[in-house]
Amino acid sequence: MLNSVSEREKRETKTMFQDLKPEIYMRLETAVMEIFSSSDFHKASMRDVAKKAGVSFSTIYHHYGSKENLLFSFVDVWLGKLTDRIIDHLQGIEDLKEKMRKVLWVQLDYYERNPGLAKILFMTLPMKTWMADQTFQQKKMINLYLDVLRKGQKEGVLNPNVRAGILLDFMLGFVQRSFFMWVSRGQKESPTAQANFLFEMVWLAISNPDMN
């Protein structure tokens, strides 16, 4: 199992990451997305990325040090953008149910627009490998979810009989399964177009049974 990256190593990686020229960063981002979303994680390599991006292997190795750090650094950026989108879309929404509806819609929309990322997270990246890295925690996003869920439980709107984390696991698992089967079925129907129907199913599962 991979060891978690230390805070010092994370700061050093971030600094080197920022030193990359914008055009090199963009080529790397495209290459990482394409290779890791379409290849088995264990077969993909930094040399594959270097060739695809037109960037020297030594440059990539100098900035990231390993295939895992390379991928996780970009995953962290991509999920950070999702978190920012969720925060933006929640502005001005007071009703808890509508907040949860919007959160589900934003996730489905983001993954539908970025299917490569979803394939990496849900299909090609070994979960055990990612869980050993600090970027798996996504504290900003998870705390955002948990704050909303706990508030809903406190107000008696959401199921108070389980931990807020269980409600979160259900929601995230629902999104993952929905996307996985969307890909399996040939991406013929838009998950986002069905977001309201899907949300009503989720809401029945997480809302306070005494309120239904």
pLDDT, tens digit (0-9, with 9 covering 90-100), for 123-155: 999 999 999 999 999 999 999 999 999 999 999
| Rounded Cα gap, residues 170 and 65, in angstroms | 35
Q: What is the residue whose two structure tokens read 């990359």? A: 20
- Are the C-beta atoms of 93 and 100 separated by less than 8 Å? no
State the residue range of the domain holding 193. 7-211
pLDDT at 10 over 80: no
Taking all residues of the chain, what is their mean pLDDT, rounded to a whole number? 89
Q: Which of 1-15, 28-42, 104-118, 122-136 has the lowest mean pLDDT?
A: 1-15
User: Is residue 205 included in any domain, yes or no?
Assistant: yes
pLDDT at 108 over 80: yes
CATH code: domain of residue 102? 1.10.357.10
User: Is residue 119 included in any domain, yes or no?
Assistant: yes
**What total number of domains does the chain contain?**
1
pLDDT at 19 over 60: yes
pLDDT at 189 over 90: no
| Run of H or E including 66 | none
User: Is residue 19 included in any domain, yes or no?
Assistant: yes
In sequence order, what are the beta bridge partners of 158? 207
User: Is residue 1 included in any domain, yes or no?
Assistant: no
User: Is residue 2 included in any domain, yes or no?
Assistant: no
- Interval 169-173 mean pLDDT: 94
pLDDT at 164 over 70: yes
pTM of the model: 0.86
Listed ranges 12-21, 125-134, 178-187; the one with the highest mean pLDDT: 125-134
| Rounded Cα gap, residues 119 and 19, in angstroms | 28
| Rounded Cα gap, residues 61 and 58, in angstroms | 5
- Interval 15-35 mean pLDDT: 84
Residue 24 phi, psi dihedral angles, 5° rounding? -70, -40
pLDDT at 21: 86
User: Is residue 176 included in any domain, yes or no?
Assistant: yes
113: Cβ–Cβ under 8 A, 6 or more apart, which residues?
none
